[in-house]
Amino acid sequence: MSTAVRTVPALGDVGLGWRSEIAGVIADLRPGFCEVIAESIPLRRRRARPDPALAELVARGVPVIPHGVALSLGGAEPVQPARVRRLAACAAALGSPLVSEHIAFVRAGGIEAGHLLPVPRTRAALDALARNIERTRAELTVPLAVENVASFLEWPESDLTESEFLTELVERCGVLLVLDVANVYANARNRGRDPHHELARLPVEQVAYSHVAGGHAGDDFYHDTHTARTPREVLDLVTALRDRVDVPFMLERDGRYPPAAELFDELDEIAEAAGAEPITTRAREVWT
Amino acid sequence: MTGSDTLAQRQAALVRALVADGPVPPGFDAAAVAAAGAVCRHKRDAHARAGVQRRRPSNCSPTPTSVAT
């Protein structure tokens, strides 16, 4: 494991995505950090008004990261200023050490796709991403981290590898990364590749933190749904990444929430895979 | 695909194929576009329902509440 200082020292070793459905359980955990979907936080008079349970976590000293899903950083069109302001307002309200978004586009030609779409791995797409990252960072007072996405779609014009694309993005913009190892797994599985081989080639020095999640195997593709327990193959990627660099990990769960004890088991598995202390000890006493 | 198509045109064509009954853009795998389109339409419908329930301001898109990221 690398002994380099973390890119965001405020973050603890193991966290999870804050969702209102599991707010009661999260309140009894000791997460090293949480992430909240930025678009889920209400805005009034340009100020973000986080859920009281989320504000309580912040008051306890838990770093909370606004995670945007609708900025469309990878779009050919400029990011919408109101969406950038929303991210900045969330960071201000939560005292966040950073904000994060995706290397993706979600709309084009006036039509909303409804989901994160991959960009072609080309110089033209890098140019568009770099411009939108600069537009976004101009309004933020904290660092921005951008995340690799899962997709079955492959652009025919892609002439860079994932590794080349991410490396050039980091070098050009100096931007931080959210490295989603579940997305590395999903993409490798859907393309018949070895996820450890793919992970080994990705740039890791600028990683702010890493996402972990489970998905479902459909008839055609493996879907990164965040609605199932993290599979062993993804936990093995956690260990492989942690062997290369000291980064925090967090669980993303977005539905079909399990009983508290199962969630604690999964969080403990992630902590163990990452060589970190469990965050569930006190919560287990309360919930089981 | 032609060499003169811009990134904006290509992205718009892909989104039309995914959620607006547009043709599969040249060079894309039709099965992958169909599968991704099903995910997009499912998410959009879920977001739309959430948007109605929450009466979100018209200048905000419906809130994704279950987006896989």
What ipTM was reported for this prediction?
0.94
Rounded Cα distance between B51 and B61, Å, is 8
The pLDDT tens digits along chain A (288 residues) read 555 789 999 999 999 999 999 999 999 999 999 999 999 999 999 999 999 999 999 999 999 999 999 999 999 999 999 999 999 999 999 999 999 999 999 999 999 999 999 999 999 999 999 999 999 999 999 999 999 999 989 999 999 999 999 999 999 999 999 999 999 999 999 999 999 999 999 999 999 999 999 999 998 899 999 999 999 999 999 999 999 999 999 999 999 999 999 999 999 999 999 999 999 999 999 997
How many cross-chain Cβ pairs, A to B, lie less than 8 Å apart? 131
Band (B46; pLDDT cuts 50, 70, 90): confident
Cβ distance A153 to B33 under 8 Å?
A: yes
The answer for A 54-113 residues in CB contact with B (under 8 A) is: 67, 69-70, 75-77, 82, 102, 105, 107-109, 111-113
3-state secondary structure A70-93: CCCCCCCCCCCHHHHHHHHHHHHH
Strand pairing category for A144-147 and A99-102: parallel
3-class SS at A149?
Answer: coil
Question: pLDDT by residue (tens digit) across A132-187?
Answer: 999 999 999 999 999 999 998 999 999 999 999 999 999 999 999 999 999 999 99
Q: Is the pLDDT of residue B55 over 60?
A: no
Q: Is any Cβ of chain B less than 8 angstroms from the Cβ of A21?
A: no
Determine the residue of chain A that is closest to B20 in CA distance.
A111
Query: Using beta carbons and an 8 Å cutoff, which residues of B are at the interface with A?
Result: 1, 6-8, 10-12, 14-16, 18-20, 26-29, 31-33, 35-36, 39-41, 43-44, 47, 59-61, 63-69
Amino acid at A21: E
Q: Which residues 193-212 of A are in CB contact (within 8 Å) with B?
A: 211
Predicted pLDDT at B15 = 98
Using pLDDT thresholds of 50, 70 and 90, give the confidence band for residue B45.
confident
pLDDT value for B43: 85
Give the H/E segment covering residue A154: none
Secondary structure (DSSP) of A218-240: -SSSEE--S-SPPPHHHHHHHHH
Distance CA A189, CA A128 (A): 28
Average pLDDT of span B44-54: 68
B-chain residues within 8 Å CB-CB of A230?
A: none
Q: Which residues pair with A209 in a beta bridge?
A: A178
Note the pLDDT tens digit of each residue in A17-42. 999 999 999 999 999 999 999 999 99
Residue B14: per-residue pLDDT: 98
Q: Is there a contact between A236 and A3 (Cβ–Cβ < 8 Å)?
A: no
Q: Do B68 and A150 touch (CB under 8 A)?
A: yes
Q: What is the DSSP pairing of strand A111-117 with strand A105-108?
A: antiparallel
| pLDDT for B63 | 41
Q: In what helix (H) or strand (E) does residue A267 lie, and over which residues does it extend? A: helix A260-274
Residues in chain A with CB shorter than 8 Å from the CB of B32 are: 152-154, 221
Please list every residue in chain B whose beta carbon sits closer than 8 Å to the beta carbon of residue A213.
68
Strands A64-67 and A47-48: unpaired
Among B20, B39, B65, the residue with its CB nearest the CB of A115 is B39
* Cα A215 from Cα A221, distance rounded (Å): 11
CB-nearest partner of B32 from A150, A154, A218? A154
Shortest CA distance from A72: residue in chain B: B11
Place of tokens 């539905």: A255
Would you say how long chain A is, in residues? Answer: 288
Q: Give the span between the Cα atoms of B35 and B22, in whole angstroms.
A: 14
Q: What is the pTM (predicted TM-score) of this model?
A: 0.92
Q: What percent of chain B has pLDDT over 70?
A: 65
